[in-house]
Structure 1
């Protein structure tokens, strides 16, 4: 398995994996598959995101196939530049348990440590995702709050755990 920073050339692979994530783990993301497939020029949007300064998306590749992703974004505001956020972490179900998630998160943490001014990382995880919460805890994240009914999917609510890692 190889972890690398994605470039605009990876946009199509990223978009395919993103759609898979929204379909297979809808409770884990604020975005919905239904909204995603309505986007105009989604590949172009992904290419632009992958070019944006302060926005780092890493991919886990298994034999040149993208199997997992994670995005690290530094806050822009003067008073918040000491913070960065972890977004859109996902690993394909058939490759889970092989270390891709840990490798991706470790890469994002290590990248954050190289960016001047970043002192802490924030992320949110659906409270029912024990595997993800265990991984985040294992790498030093701590829960600092719970948002009740953060996501409503059909008629079911999901809480989010907000977690922080101080660098």
Structure 2
């Protein structure tokens, strides 16, 4: 498996993987499959997002197939410019538990260090134990749990907020 930063030319395959993610793990994302499908000109808007300067998306490839993604969103305000958030992490079910998620997060960490970020934040649904264990293994520390962070039609989900300090 290999990782690389995605760009606008990857829009079609990213969009297809995004739709899969929203169908496969709907509780892990705020956006719903229906919302994503209703987006006007989804390939163009996806290409624009992938070419954005405020966020960077990294892909995990098995041979030539995109099998995982993660996005890093940098804070824009000058007083927060030392921080970024990791969002939209997804690995296809058949490629999980093979080390790909760790490769993706390590890629994000290396990129963040290269652009002199100091703090990375992420949130994970509290019952997603495999993800929490991975983030802890890579040095992320919990700094709180938000109860009822996500409201679904039939229940609420709590989110654990985690941070990695790249510069002490």
TM-score of the superposed pair, with normalisation by structure 2:
0.96
User: How many angstroms does 1:54 deviate by?
Assistant: 3.3
Matches of 2:34 and 2:63 in 1, distance apart? 30
Matches of 1:148 and 1:133 in 2, distance apart? 16
Matches of 2:149 and 2:36 in 1, distance apart? 19
The total of aligned residue pairs comes to 166
Matches of 2:107 and 2:141 in 1, distance apart? 19
Task: Give the structure 2 partner of residue 120 of structure 1.
Answer: 119
Task: Give the structure 1 partner of residue 58 of structure 2.
Answer: 58
Per-residue CA shift, 1:133-162, capped at 9, x if unaligned?
Answer: 000000000111111111122211110111
Structure 1: unaligned runs, 5 residues or longer: none
Alignment map for 1:26-41 (pairs within 5 Å): 26-41=26-41
Give the secondary structure class of the aligned counterpart of 1:161. strand
Matches of 1:100 and 1:32 in 2, distance apart? 24
Alignment map for 1:68-147 (pairs within 5 Å): 68-116=68-116, 118-147=117-146
2:160 aligned with 1:161, yes or no? yes
Give the secondary structure class of the aligned counterpart of 2:145. strand
Matches of 2:54 and 2:111 in 1, distance apart? 11
Matches of 1:95 and 1:10 in 2, distance apart? 19
Matches of 1:19 and 1:112 in 2, distance apart? 27
Matches of 1:13 and 1:156 in 2, distance apart? 32
Give the secondary structure class of the aligned counterpart of 2:56. strand
User: How many angstroms does 1:97 deviate by?
Assistant: 0.8
TM-score of the superposed pair, with normalisation by structure 1:
0.97
Task: Give the structure 2 partner of residue 148 of structure 1.
Answer: 147
User: Over the residues paired in the alignment, what is the CA RMSD in angstroms?
Assistant: 0.8
Any runs of at least 4 consecutive aligned residues in structure 1 with deviations exceeding 3 A, and if so which? none
Structure 2: unaligned runs, 5 residues or longer: none
